């Protein structure tokens, strides 16, 4: 299985608009972070994780011409507002693209993007629109998604519940503040773990700090852990310097074999 980090930034992205800090003005290309997105590939199958606002740019940069399904972690704007870029896939595939989300996120998608998910809304002759077929997933109930065997893993994120997952030797959690005991137990034995982490030092009410993510990773015990959803308050060079063995900062375009 191959994991590509399409976007590794927070909802602000990096550089942040109008910011002149050392990270936002860094010459290191790894410090330029678009909003969160990822791609799983195995035996020719492709699963897209989230549709951030920069999705078109991310997929062009990664050379992606097809996806088989989409997994939404949750419905915050930085994770879903690139949904219109799915149009090329539903148009090219001749039908609706399967989209997987929790019950609550699916309801939000139906309401916010009715033109994508309501089959009665047809485009005018000679035009097209993105078409998605929603499939609801439930916490801890295994689901087959585009040929990937997925175990949905919930984590708290303020007033939201984020649906991470385990797929074989990969555990993937973004936008979490802690790992509930059942989720943490389900992650044990993964070879590669992905966790969100904003910055070093101060805590945040809905996200891991780097230190908190490192502690959670140690409890899970993966061979390698990659931190994503990073802010402009931490540079890639600082991550390289300060992270313990086996923990790495992800960056846009990084490809990891699981």
User: For 207-223, what is each residue's pLDDT tens digit?
Assistant: 999 999 999 999 999 99
Query: Which tens digit of pLDDT belongs to each residue from 85-126?
Result: 999 998 888 789 999 999 999 999 999 999 999 989 888 888
CA distance 84 to 201: 37
Q: Is residue 250 exposed (0-12), middle (13-18) or buried (19+ Cβ within 10 Å)?
A: buried
Mean pLDDT of the chain, nearest integer: 96
Query: Which tens digit of pLDDT belongs to each residue from 44-75?
Result: 999 999 999 999 999 999 999 999 999 999 99
Average pLDDT in the 174-189 region?
97
- Report CA torsion sign: 116, 121, 126, 127: negative
Question: Where do the structural domains in the chain lie, given as residue ranges?
Answer: 2-257
Selected from 3.90.1150.10, 3.40.50.880, 3.40.605.10, 3.60.15.10, the CATH number assigned to the domain covering 2-257 reads: 3.60.15.10
**DSSP reduced 3-state for 58:** helix
Q: Is the pTM of this model over 0.85?
A: yes
Cβ atoms 162, 74 nearer than 8 A: yes
Is the peptide bond between 15 and the residue preceding it cis, with omega within 30 degrees of 0?
yes
pLDDT at 128: 86
Measure the CA angle with vertex 99, ends 96 and 101; round to 5°. 155
**Residue 213: alpha-carbon gap to chain centroid:** 16
Percent of the chain with pLDDT over 70: 100
Query: Which tens digit of pLDDT belongs to each residue from 119-153?
Result: 898 888 888 899 999 999 999 999 999 999 999 99
Contacts 24+ apart (CB under 8 A), 158-161: 158/205, 158/206, 160/74, 160/75, 160/76, 161/74, 161/102, 161/104
Comparing CA positions, the residue from 66, 61, 60, 62 lying closest to residue 44 is: 66
């Amino acid at each position: 299985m191959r994991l590509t980090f399409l976007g590794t930034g927070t909802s602000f992205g990096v550089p942040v608009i109008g910011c002149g800090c050392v990270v936002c003005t860094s010459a290191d290309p790894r410090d330029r972070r678009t909003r969160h997105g990822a791609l799983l590939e195995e035996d020719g199958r492709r699963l897209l994780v989230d549709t951030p606002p920069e999705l078109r740019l991310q997929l062009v940069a990664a050379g992606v011409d097809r996806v088989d399904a989409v997994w939404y972690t949750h419905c915050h704007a930085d994770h879903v507002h690139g949904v219109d870029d799915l149009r090329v896939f539903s148009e090219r595939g001749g039908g609706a693209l399967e989209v997987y989300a929790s019950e609550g996120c699916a309801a939000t998608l139906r309401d916010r993007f009715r033109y994508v998910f309501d089959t009665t809304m047809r485009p005018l002759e000679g035009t097209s629109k993105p078409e998605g077929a929603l499939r609801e997933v439930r916490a801890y109930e295994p689901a087959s998604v585009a040929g990937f065997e997925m175990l949905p893993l919930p984590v708290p994120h303020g007033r939201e519940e984020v649906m991470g997952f385990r797929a074989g030797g990969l555990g993937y959690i973004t936008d979490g503040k802690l790992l509930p005991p059942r989720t943490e137990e389900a992650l044990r034995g993964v070879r590669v773990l992905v966790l969100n982490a904003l910055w070093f030092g101060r805590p945040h009410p809905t996200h891991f700090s780097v230190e908190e993510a490192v502690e959670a990773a140690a409890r899970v015990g993966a061979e390698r852990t990659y931190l994503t959803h990073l802010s402009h308050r931490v540079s890639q060079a600082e991550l390289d310097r300060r992270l313990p063995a086996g923990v790495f900062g992800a960056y846009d375009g990084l490809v990891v074999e699981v």
